[in-house]
Chains A and B, each alone.
Chain A
Amino acid sequence: AQSVAQPEDQVNVAEGNPLTVKCTYSVSGNPYLFWYVQYPNRGLQFLLKYITGDNLVKGSYGFEAEFNKSQTSFHLKKPSALVSDSALYFCAVRDIAYTGGFKTIFGAGTRLFVKA
């Protein structure tokens, strides 16, 4: 079964410093991996995805993620954090059913606090 794990409940970083939010995955076959962000009382906003190709994926708002097959990781990164980046971040993997349907399996989420 497909799964993702986010080992950190919370990440604290100072504004202007680089940030990393960690994610590891367990899949059978080639993984389809996603990052989403959620602000209070809002739905999820798509940041980026890895399907195939370059291991470094660039996404919205200056975020990027590095796919590492040997370490089964897909960490989210940003070179310089902003206070407005403070939110809940979810790593996710796509699970495709034999019917052709699919579901997205989410990690538990990591809360990012960026201090001014």
Chain B
Amino acid sequence: KAGVTQTPRYLIKTRGQQVTLSCSPISGHRSVSWYQQTPGQGLQFLFEYFSETQRNKGNFPGRFSGRQFSNSRSEMNVSTLELGDSALYLCASSPATSGGADTQYFGPGTRLTVL
């Protein structure tokens, strides 16, 4: 099976712009989660989607949003970019068959740089 794919892999934006990141989960996986990784804050949870519904959300401002499509693919959007949004954004998918016991499989990430 192909792994989790994320596009683009690298992105450079300027402050005030908006960005959309894409994630394709492993085939058959129905839960998709997003995480932000920075040197200062580590890995932080953004949100989790299942069957096109957001089931859980982390402590991020409303500029961060996401959605999931009927084929389980997911996108996250960041509007009005700030310098502090520079980070590695990781997507993870899981089969959603064992609830909290499911293993999440991560994509390679999208490296976002905000100038």
The reply to whether chain A is a binding partner of chain B is yes
- Contact present for B43 and A49 (CB under 8 Å): no
A73, chain B: closest CB distance, angstroms: 20
Please report the total number of A residues contacting B with Cβ < 8 Å: 27
- B45 an interface residue at 8 Å Cβ cutoff? yes
Query: Which residues of chain B (79-115) have a CB below 8 Å from chain A?
Result: 90, 92, 99-101, 103-109, 111
A103-B48 CB under 8 A given contacts A43-B90, A96-B99: yes
Contacts of B105 on A, CB cut-off 8 Å? Answer: 46
For B13-54 the 0/1 string (1 means CB < 8 A from A) is 000000000000000000001010000001101001010001
Q: Residues of A at under 8 Å CB distance from B? A: 32, 34, 36, 41-46, 49, 51, 90, 94-97, 99-109
Q: Residues of B at under 8 Å CB distance from A? A: 4, 33, 35, 42-43, 45, 48, 50, 54-56, 58, 90, 92, 99-101, 103-109, 111
